[in-house]
Amino acid sequence: MSAQLGAGGKPNRFRAWSRQQLYSFFSSLGTLMSHRLGTLMTVLVLGVAMVLPLGLYIAIGNLHELDLHQEKWGTVTAFLHTDAGAEEVAALAGQAREAHGAEVTAVSPEQGMEEFSEASGMGQAMELFEENPLPWVLHVTPPKGTQEDLESVVSRMAGWLDEQETVDFVQVDYKWLKRLAGLLALGDALVTVLAVVLALAVLVVIANTIRLDVSNRAGEIQVLNMVGAPDGFIRQPFLYSGLWYGLMGAALALLFLSAATAYLQPPLQGLLDAYGNSFEFRGLGWWGMAAVLLAGCLLGLGGSWMAVSRHLRQFRVEEMPRRA
């Protein structure tokens, strides 16, 4: 019979421990809801602190996705003189293909006028011109799969085109792409610094909030210590309160982020479409949101652990002279 009791002891103890954890988990939520205004203000502060690095992270990440389409930005645009004819354009395009193995797309003045009218909505105004003022344009793209550095290839093609008599001026998109890459590197570092600083701020906010709660329940903690309650039992409700703060702050940050993304995505997509870019704006995704919620919970547990542990140490120091 004793063997049966021993065999069933572990499941019973685990069941009792689970019930205790669930009770503390939901009772701590009830405690927070009993102070709605204070809880709301704390969660708002946490949500704002968390959404700032998240928003910057998503913005930088989407710019990195744009950076991946280097073949598009490596295109060199050559604007020809207005008196250049179709035969001269065809000859120049053929020379570019032979000399550099490039992909060449020619845009006639009529095509350019039509595209400009559609993009600008100034079709009626363009009809006032007696002659088409737009020149022939060549879009010259480096060959795909080239082993050379894209910047050197683009610079060589731009220099060659600029030397041609029929070319008025040359525009190179890769230069501003290189500047963008430098700004993205700075943005990555800024996201890391901001995330660390605001994570510390979240820890401090939660620790200070839990410290106030601990101070308000100092008498209850003293009674628990006097009857021999272990530190883990005393910490438990405060740890769950910190977890709730972190979880709700992270959830609010995700809500802010979703609202901002939904508001900004249509005009941003319209801007990209106007430049002929098929890029699709990306958010965090399900795994990213789960990681944010987990990080919020960990920050909440960390902040509450610091606050409660410090209070318990102070209580031990204060109690030692009394017991002596």
What's the token pair of residue 237? 């409700």
pLDDT of residue 7 exceeding 60, the answer is: no
| Every domain of the chain and the residues it spans | 24-68+178-323, 75-172
For 137, phi and psi rounded to 5 degrees? -130, 135
Among the residue ranges 124-133, 186-195, 206-215, 255-264, the one predicted with the least confidence is 124-133
CA angle 271, 275, 280 (to 5 degrees): 60
pTM above 0.75, yes or no: no
Q: What is the pLDDT of residue 277?
A: 59
Q: Which range is least confidently modeled, 39-53, 241-255, 262-276, 281-295?
A: 262-276
Give the pLDDT of residue 2: 44
- Stretch among 124-138, 200-214, 220-234 having the lowest mean pLDDT: 220-234
Measure CA of the first residue to CA of the last residue in the chain; give whole Å.
Answer: 46
Residue in 136, 81, 139, 147 with CA at minimum distance from that of residue 113: 136
Strand-pairing partners, residue 141, are 103
**Residue 205 structure tokens:** 């906010």
What is the β-pairing status of strands 103-107 and 137-141?
Answer: antiparallel
DSSP state of 173: S
For residue 286, the one-letter residue type is W
Q: Which CATH architecture has domain 75-172?
A: 2-Layer Sandwich (3.30)
Q: Residue 68: what are its φ and ψ, rounded to 5°?
A: -70, -25
d(CA 24, CA 212): 19
Q: Which of 202 and 148 is assigned the larger pLDDT?
A: 202
H or E element at residue 184: helix 174-216
pLDDT tens digits, one per residue of 40-54: 888 899 999 998 888
The dihedrals phi and psi of 147, each to the nearest 5 degrees, come to: -85, -15
Task: Provide the pLDDT for residue 92.
Answer: 83
The pLDDT of residue 252:
94
At residue 1, does pLDDT exceed 80? no
What is the rounded CA–CA span in Å between residue 173 and residue 70? 10
149 has pLDDT over 70: no
Structure tokens at 126: 């363009």
Summarised one tens digit per residue, pLDDT across range 279-292 is: 667 778 889 899 99
State the pairing for strand pair 103-107/76-80: unpaired
Task: Report helix, strand or coil for 79.
Answer: strand
Tokens found for residue 77: 């645009």
